[in-house]
Amino acid sequence: MHPIRIAPSLLSCDFSRIAEEVAKVESCGADWLHVDVMDGHFVPNITIGPPVVAKIKEVATTPLDVHLMIEDPLSHADSFLDAGADVFTFHLEIVEKIDPMKLIDKVKSRGRKVAMAMNPDGNPHDLSPFLPCLDMVLVMSVFPGFGGQKFMPEVLDHVRVIRDELGFTGEIEMDGGIGPENIAACAEVGTNAFVAGTAVFGAEDVGQRITDLRETATKSRPG
């Protein structure tokens, strides 16, 4: 059984104090640091590129969970791997534009974890050809592009299909509006990694929030 992982989303942190924000959530028990990369094309927002990821890597002591919401992750793969991506996630929605197996092989050849993300309106069965090669699937519980959106409970069925019907034994991560009110439902269907932005960085007591999220998920997971 995969460990419960809490991955605070740095998209919700104070970027003017990012080194302090990283240190704070790490000291409070964060397992991964979730880094959202957006190109203004695949999603309407623009965030950061490899130089900023590299600077985060310099101060981080926990793995960087890098979520590439970009149109051409294959061309930029080496840049983000060189910058320090420990978990490299690209989207199911762009696999017809690139050679997904070439990208998966590239990431694995660098000794990193490779994951595929799917949007809320995606079909989890479309992941089937890739599942044997993936370390993780990221199920988006909001449409990607901006933080602070409301969790979409209908995506819980995607996790059920991936875990139970398709038999995926790797890690499953959920991203979008995750907080104390819904993390139990996510864990119950087989999610083990949880991206939390506002719920963590907006909490009065960040350490207690991470502890509470982890304990709730642990109690709620199947088996």
pLDDT tens-place string over residues 111-147: 999 999 999 999 999 999 999 999 999 999 999 776 6
Catalytic site residues? Answer: 36, 175
In a 3-state reduction of DSSP, which class is residue 184?
Answer: helix
What secondary structure letter does DSSP report for 145?
A: T
Edge-to-edge strand ranges of the sheet holding 171-175: 5-8, 193-196, 171-175, 136-140, 113-118, 87-91, 64-69, 33-38
**For residues 187-196, average pLDDT:** 97
* pLDDT for residue 209: 98
Q: What is the pTM of this model?
A: 0.96
For the chain, domains (ranges, CATH) are: 5-220 (3.20.20.70)
Question: What average pLDDT does this structure show over 54-61?
Answer: 98
